[in-house]
Amino acid sequence: MKTSVKYQHLVRVLLVTAWLISSAATANEGERPILSADAMLSSLAMPVAGVPSPPREDATDLKFHEFFKLPVGPRGLEATEKLKSLAGKRIRMVGYMARQEIPTAGFFVLSPLPVSLGDEDESLADDLPASVVFVHVHPPGDKPLPFSPGLLRVTGILSIGAHEESDGHVSSVRLQLDPEIVQALAAGQRPM
Amino acid sequence: MNSFNIIQKCLGVVGVIFAASASIAAPTISRLTPPSNPPSADAVTLARFLPGQRFDLQATVSPDAGASIASFSFAVDGVALKPAANTVGMVTTGLNAKLSDGTATPANTAVVSLRAYSNAVPGVHTLSVTAVQSDGQKVTRSGNFEVVGITRQGHVAKNIILLLGDGMGAAHRTAARIMVKGYAQGKAQGRLAMDTFPYTGMVMTSSLNSIVTDSAPGMSNYVSGNKANNNEEGVFPDDTVDAFDNPRIEYLSEYLHRLKGKRLGIVTTADVFDATPAANAVHTSNRGNGTGIVDQYLDDRKLTGLTVLMGGGRKWFLPNSSDSSDKTSPQAINGSQRKASSDYVLPGDIVAGWGAAPGATDPERDLIADFTAAGYAYVADKAGMDAAGNPDKLLGLFAYSNMNVAFDKINKRRGVSTIVDDFGFPDQPMLDEMADKALKVLSKNNRDGFYLMIEGASIDKQAHLMDTDRWIEETIEFDRAVKVARDFAATHPDTLVIVTADHECAGAAIIGAAAAVMPAYPSAATVATYEAARFPKYTIAADGYPQTTDVPGRMLIGYGANADRYETWLSSDQPTQDSQQPFVGAPPLNAHPRNPALRNASTGFLITGQIPGSQAVHTASDVPLSAFGRGASLFTGVFDNTDVFFKIGQAVLGGIK
């Protein structure tokens, strides 16, 4: 009897683990991002539920892997035609808000995988992937948007080209966040 | 208590009162550099230098409240030094909030320096600094340093090749030997190239501030002769925030280039800004300052003799001209990670003392173009490297960040994996191919010789990730580079070849082997121990790597410095994600395991970690060192990593009988 209870528990643990991991594997940027391990763990840890993004019919979906050409050229990364063609237009992206050691009002970083940035000891040689998007909030407001763990779906106007951010990073891709997303994030909601 | 004792006690009390009042009423010196051990009969001399090797003298002096430091002077063996023009400096701003003893930094504290001092007289010397406060009060503090003499005897080594297997402890070497050579009836069926070296010693790897070093002092200590703090390379610690103004120690490359005109080569599978490569040429207290580090490679090439630089790290060499710094020609997206905050500008006393380039805050700099203008051929992949012929100088940047590992590079060459394509760099050279090219370039028309550092970087990086198969194949790749160096030394007998590690990583141990048939559910019980382990057999392909590492009865590795991980006792098809890679997080790389605590979580069993964090850590275990060629006989016994510097000095300057 004892053994079978133990066994059932083991199976349950294995199933949950398998689900956690398969979801982590399918999506940092997958089709069903709601299944990400981080999203689930964060929803367990915090009372932040995913709320539907307001519908924006004029937004084009853009994915992180669509930013740069493959293979990488001898003079560095090159923007794809799709990325260039969407500059100035409204796009929709799914990604993770980077955890900032010192959050900054006016922007956050959207990353294809969960990362931290601005560790003082690393002098900005931090773990930010090259494809991160600096998401700007206009007007910047007095305080940073609260950190929202798990995957976010955001919309806004895309801009590209090197730009020095207020924290010293130089961004390549930026998004001017739509006001309704700003409101949702400010209210502690997680737009999905 | 007799009267003598009473008098003695009273004198002691008076002494304490006097000392206490003196400490309030006079300036204090909280740090004197180079560092010394507290005086005692058996204390070893901490700071040691080769004859004429340059180093900075520095002190941190705190005045009384309301006062300031008016003047200072350094003296050696009681004789005041007369510094050359502009080689002294006093800094009173930009200091750390706390001093080295943990107390708050008092107002008007001054960091005073005398740059690029050297002493040619062997023996222990007394160093003292005297500072005078604005009200005339003086303070003096003394320490010592040693100049290690060279014995002139016999033939000298002209070329030095130092192969550094990052994180490669004894177990990493043994595991590579078991896999690639095989054992039978207790005997290895062949030897690694590094096993064939005639002299071997054990190295103590600790840094200035910890028993467990990181890769910055791990390398720096070998090639400066002095202990550096963790995260620091080519410098002593100081009390300023600026990461590029620390007291410098002349590197082996700089010393030998200045004295003998030797050239410097640096070859790594890591990003070239990484600690191990940088700790051969760049002086900084922050190993993360990528922009300044790569700039210094080029800017100070006349100090180091830099002739070959190969590895990953293209992202630091691309111009990053933002709209705010250059409004007329905004930079197209290129993935540059150059930033003003990680760049360097040197204080005038370092520039004057060392003849160093002053540096500039210039994230917009096109460093590949500057290297090319300075006469370096630039290559971006293996085909380019092969086609470059034998240029006078060579820059090879084969990846955006760290290069892919041997396991994935070789599987691409075999046509069974597209992982390197997915990373964006389909044609990366192997370390032995880079080593061969570096030796050809360095030895071309070269009567003066060279110093070449070759790093197998991802032995460490994959051991951190506890990706057993990847670090073993990385060690095999490294050993193939060792063979290239040994073959060079065989035809150039005035060459010294050293193979070692900066530290051990992960507490790796060969704990046994798998059963011939793997059970459906792996566990600790899967490990066949002692005689049940028998002798694992791998088939080695023509390319020199195992056809597969997943053989029946495969060797199994445990970790003594492990973080949480799921273990299947099988290889992982995909490398664990590296957030520095440009396509990380996006398909198909997002299917790769994110960290060891997620890798194989659905198929493995959980082994709980003994340390915080998601990766295994370095350990303080001694590492083996093997030597071949001219001067190799010096490298026996158990010695400190800083001793290696003086042994090389003896081989190069004094020679071997």
Q: Is residue A132 part of a domain?
A: yes
How many independent structural domains does chain B possess? Answer: 2
Contact residues on chain B for A172, CB-CB shorter than 8 A:
333, 335
Q: Do B212 and B317 share a structural domain? A: yes
Q: Is residue B307 part of a domain?
A: yes
Q: Is residue A42 part of a domain?
A: no
Helix (H, G, I), strand (E, B) or coil at B18: helix
B239 closest CA partner among B97, B69, B79: B97
Q: Return the residue of A nearest to B576 by Cα.
A: A25
Q: Do B164 and B52 share a structural domain? A: no
Contact residues on chain B for A78, CB-CB shorter than 8 A:
332-334
Cβ atoms of residues B294 and B278 within 8 Å: no
Q: Do B199 and B114 share a structural domain? A: no
B520 touching A (Cβ < 8 Å): no
Q: Do B177 and B36 share a structural domain? A: no
B601 contacts A123? CB cut-off 8 A: no
Q: Which helix (H) or strand (E) element contains residue B275?
A: helix B275-278
A161 contacts B323? CB cut-off 8 A: yes
Q: Give the Cα separation of B216 and B207 in Å (integer).
A: 9
C-alpha distances out from residue A131 to B354, B455, B582, Å: 40, 29, 6
Q: Which two tokens stand for residue A143?
A: 């305080």
Q: Is residue B543 part of a domain?
A: no
Neighbours of B13 (CB within 10 A): 9
pLDDT at B341: 86
Question: Residue A116 is part of a domain; what is its CATH number?
Answer: 2.40.50.140
- Which of B123, B147, B171 terminates a domain? The answer is B147
Q: Do B455 and B349 share a structural domain? A: yes
ipTM rounded to 2 decimals: 0.85
pLDDT in tens, B397-432: 999 999 999 999 999 999 999 999 999 999 999 999
**Residue type for position A90:** R
Q: Which residues, in sequence order, are bridge partners of residue B379?
A: B396
Q: Which two tokens stand for residue B23?
A: 């400490």
Under the banding of pLDDT at 50, 70 and 90, the label for residue B25 is low
Residue B5 C-alpha from the chain's centroid: 54
pLDDT in tens, B229-283: 999 999 999 999 999 999 999 999 999 999 999 999 999 999 999 999 999 999 9
Q: Do B179 and B133 share a structural domain? A: no
pLDDT at B329: 60
Q: Is residue B234 part of a domain?
A: yes
Q: Is B118 exposed, middle or buried (0-12, 13-18, 19+ CB in 10 A)?
A: middle
Residue B97 C-alpha from the chain's centroid: 28
B388 touching A (Cβ < 8 Å): no
Span of A183-192, B486-495, B511-520 with lowest mean pLDDT: A183-192
Under the banding of pLDDT at 50, 70 and 90, the label for residue A2 is very low
Q: Domain range spanning residue A170?
A: 53-191
Q: Do B363 and B294 share a structural domain? A: yes
Helix (H, G, I), strand (E, B) or coil at B494: coil
pLDDT at A142: 81
Q: Which two tokens stand for residue B443?
A: 């030895």
Q: Do B125 and B184 share a structural domain? A: no
- DSSP code at position B281: T
* DSSP output for B209-237: TBSS--HHHHHHHHHHSS---TT-BSB--
A76 contacts B400? CB cut-off 8 A: yes
Residue B470 C-alpha from the chain's centroid: 21
Q: Is residue B524 part of a domain?
A: no
Q: Do B85 and B114 share a structural domain? A: yes
Contact residues on chain B for A20, CB-CB shorter than 8 A:
601
Residues contacting residue B535 through CB under 8 Å, at least 6 positions apart: B182, B183, B184, B185
Cβ atoms of residues A125 and A106 within 8 Å: no
pLDDT in tens, A23-77: 333 344 433 333 333 333 333 334 345 666 655 678 999 999 999 999 999 999 9
Mean pLDDT of B149-169: 97
Q: Do B134 and B273 share a structural domain? A: no
Residue B541 C-alpha from the chain's centroid: 33
Under the banding of pLDDT at 50, 70 and 90, the label for residue A126 is low
Q: Do B136 and B206 share a structural domain? A: no
Under the banding of pLDDT at 50, 70 and 90, the label for residue B632 is very high
C-alpha distances out from residue B516 to B440, B469, B527, B557, B572, Å: 46, 18, 11, 16, 19
pLDDT at B516: 83
B334 closest CA partner among A75, A85, A174: A75
pLDDT at B517: 85
Q: Is residue A173 part of a domain?
A: yes
Q: Is residue A116 part of a domain?
A: yes
Contact residues on chain B for A109, CB-CB shorter than 8 A:
none
Is beta strand B555-559 parallel, antiparallel or unpaired with respect to B508-514? antiparallel
B574 touching A (Cβ < 8 Å): no
B318 contacts A168? CB cut-off 8 A: no
Q: Which residues, in sequence order, are bridge partners of residue B123?
A: B147
How many independent structural domains does chain A possess? Answer: 1
By Cβ distance, the residue of B323, B583, B591 closest to A162 is: B323
Q: Which residues, in sequence order, are bridge partners of residue A100?
A: A117
Span of A104-113, B67-76, B495-504 with lowest mean pLDDT: A104-113
By Cβ distance, the residue of B314, B577, B585 closest to A76 is: B314
pLDDT in tens, B599-628: 999 999 999 999 998 899 999 999 999 999
Q: Which two tokens stand for residue B128?
A: 């003292």
pLDDT in tens, B343-361: 999 999 999 999 999 999 9
Q: Cα angle at A57 between A56 and A59, to 5 degrees?
A: 70
By Cβ distance, the residue of B289, B324, B582 closest to A129 is: B582
pLDDT at A100: 82
- Which of B99, B122, B147 terminates a domain? The answer is B147
Residue B16 C-alpha from the chain's centroid: 44
B131 closest CA partner among B142, B123, B140, B122: B140
Q: Domain range spanning residue B373?
A: 159-506+619-654
B612 closest CA partner among B564, B656, B575, B568: B564
Q: Do B251 and B229 share a structural domain? A: yes
Q: Give the Cα separation of B172 and B470 in Å (integer).
A: 11
Neighbours of B519 (CB within 10 A): 11
Question: Residue B164 is part of a domain; what is its CATH number?
Answer: 3.40.720.10
Q: Is residue B31 part of a domain?
A: yes
By Cβ distance, the residue of A68, A160, A170 closest to B363 is: A170
Question: Residue B30 is part of a domain; what is its CATH number?
Answer: 2.60.40.10
Residue A182 C-alpha, separation from nearest chain B C-alpha, in angstroms: 24
Whole-number mean pLDDT of chain B? Answer: 93
The percent of residues above 70 in pLDDT, for chain B, comes to 94
Contact residues on chain B for A163, CB-CB shorter than 8 A:
322-324
Gyration radius from chain B CA atoms: 27
- Which of B147, B167, B192 terminates a domain? The answer is B147
